[in-house]
Chain A
Amino acid sequence: MATYYSEEHEWLTVEGDVATLGITKHAAEQLGDVVFVEQQEAGDDFEKGGEIGVIESVKAASELYAPVDGEIVEVNEALAENPGALNEDPEGAAWIYKIKVTDASQLEDLMDLDGYKALIG
């Protein structure tokens, strides 16, 4: 099990060919109070860089971009009812999708925790 980070402030914890995806604590802090999460459905596939959702805070709407190619296998339905969970536990209970990673070589383009810490300063 390894966790990767994207420049778009997402985390991706990979186990086999399935990964859990969410936004980082830093991202959640920058967004402020989250009031709405627009998620795609299980079965939707996407390419790296494609829009796979929208997170709206009191302040603004922010797109969620796919860090790798893949397919959504599970959606965290709890976020629809309780979008504020993204502020409380963004790197735990408030994961957004479980995805199937279709091109594992793309993981090499992502950062490890040290790299991500350097990015956010």
Chain B
Amino acid sequence: MTDAPKRTPLHALHVELGGKLVDFAGWEMPVQYPLGIMGEHQHCREKAAVFDVSHMGQVILRGENVGEKLEALCPQAYATLKPGKARYGFFTNADGGIMDDLIVSNAGDHYFVVVNAALRHQDIPHMKAHLDGVEVIEIFDRALVAVQGPKAEDVVGALCPAARDMKFMETIVADINGVECRISRLGYTGEDGYEISIPEDQAIEVTKAFLAHEDCEPAGLGARDSLRLEAGLCLYGNDIDQSTSPIEASLGWAIQKRRKEEGGFPGAERVQKELAEGASRKLVGIKPTGRAPARQGVEIQCAQGNTIGQITSGGFGPTVGGPVAMGYVAAGHGEPGEVVNLMIRGKPQPAQIVALPFVTQNYKR
């Protein structure tokens, strides 16, 4: 990518708030603010934090039977997704690998889809090519802001009382400060919270209204990454990619029963085979015993010294108070409690396989 990084509608606010801006997937995004990654992470777990996630692709799908048609691209039961509901899912390829993960919402008269920033260029043409008779409209004039944390309901509810009554994975359209927004009760931090799509002209004003709440601080991509890692949530490009199947990635929970049985999505053969016989590897939580973080690419060895896999995401978990990681291990390994060694800078460091998530998810069910 040789183009200058793109700016979100909140760019001027990031600068005003002292955000440290970096190039992320072709976007100029704040990795942290003056509070720092650790402080922002803790603030989100304890109170509330606001994240700019406008780099993600927002897409509107209009047409007949959009849910049914999405089922030809995704292993999720989108045909039966009720109006006002959102569901996590992914596009699979013909080999059963994951092309991208996404959130699909049934917005009543249309569907609303959010995809990863780095894969907008892949996903939009993919949907245009395969969703016959569906109008695929990529939205360029709206920001997407996540308000996350146990106080998120107070922060958003103070400006929009209807948001208080929403449950996890519900979506509505409502006014915030007189601005019509799409509010969805979901996120990617493991905490309760909302993702809010805001017209770009008013995005800074609405975000400032959230930040005016005493319990709310801005947080950057650094904290977003450590929060999602502790919550055991996969990052596309690290933990899941074109080669990893949903079953390997321990994402079987995101494929509804009917789809597991009926198939009818790209790569269904592999997914069904792995469901029946087990996958050759699986994504697990890994807790290093010492203090050294184990980062992406670190080799995992079993107690006997054989290589059994690799770390795909790892770092320091501020809430855990120590290093945390996720990685793939070969079949026959990966039971919680299993002791492994992580080859950090050539030296074996002991670690234990643990059940995910590292931090209990705190959703409003």
Within 8 A of B (CB), among A33-63: 33, 35-36, 38, 54, 56, 58-61
CB closest chain-B residue, reference A59: B222
A83 to B292, CA, bound (A): 11
* Nearest neighbor of A58 in chain B, beta-carbon distance: B37
Instruction: Determine which of B32, B222, B293, B345 lies in contact with A35 in the assembled complex, contact meaning CB atoms within 8 Å.
Output: B293
Residues in B with CB closer than 8 Å to A92 are none
Chain B residues, CB < 8 A from A59: 31, 37, 222
Tell me if B318 and A58 are in contact (CB < 8 A): yes
Report A5-24 CB contacts with B as 1/0, cut-off 8 Å.
00000000000000000000
- Give the residue name and chain of the B residue nearest to A87 (CB): B36
| Chain A: minimal CB distance from B104 (Å) | 32
CB 8 Å contact bits of A75-97 with B (1 = contact, 0 = none): 00000100100000000000000
Q: Which residue of B lies closest to A33 (CB)?
A: B38
B357 within 8 A of A: no
CB–CB A33/B36 < 8 A: yes
Residue tally, chain A, CB below 8 Å to B: 13
B226 and A58 form a contact (CB under 8 A)? yes
- Fill in one digit per residue for B91-129: 1 if any A CB lies within 8 Å of its CB, else 0: 000000000000000000000000000000000000000
Q: Is the CB of B222 within 8 A of A32?
A: yes
Residue in B226, B292, B295, B323 whose Cβ sees the most chain A Cβ within 10 Å: B292
**Which secondary structure dominates chain B's binding surface?**
mixed
- Asked if B63 is an interface residue, CB under 8 A from chain A, the answer is no
Please, how many angstroms separate the alpha-carbon atoms of A38 and B345 in the complex? 11
With A58-B37, A61-B295 already in contact, the answer to whether A32 and B345 are too (CB < 8 A) is no
Q: Which residue of A lies closest to B293 (CB)?
A: A56
- Chain A residue numbers with a CB within 8 Å of B295 are 60-61
Cβ B32 vs Cβ A80 within 8 A: no
Report the Cα distance A66→B102, complex, angstroms: 46
A15 to chain B, nearest CB (A): 31
Give B303-328 as 1s and 0s: 1 = Cβ < 8 Å from A's Cβ atoms: 00000000000011010000100000
A61 touches B37 (CB 8 A): no
Contact A58 B291 (CB under 8 A): no
Give CA–CA (A29, B72) in the complex, Å: 49
Pair B31/A35 contact, Cβ less than 8 Å: no
The contact of B38 among A56, A58, A60, by CB within 8 Å, is A58
Q: How far is the CA of A32 from the CA of B293 in the complex (A)?
A: 15
Q: A35 and B291: CB pair below 8 A? A: yes
Q: How far is the CA of A32 from the CA of B37 in the complex (A)?
A: 8
Q: How far is the CA of A59 from the CA of B318 in the complex (A)?
A: 12
B36 neighbours in A (Cβ, 8 Å): 32-33
Expressed in whole angstroms, the Cα–Cα distance for A59 and B24 within the complex equals 14
Q: Which residues of A contact B38 (CB under 8 A)?
A: 32-33, 58
CA distance A35 to B316 in the complex (A): 7
9 contacts between A and B (CB under 8 A): A32-B36, A33-B36, A36-B291, A58-B226, A58-B315, A58-B318, A60-B295, A61-B293, A61-B295
- Besides A33-B36, A58-B316, 11 more A-B contacts (Cβ < 8 Å) are A32-B32, A32-B37, A32-B38, A33-B37, A36-B292, A36-B316, A38-B292, A54-B345, A58-B41, A59-B37, A60-B295
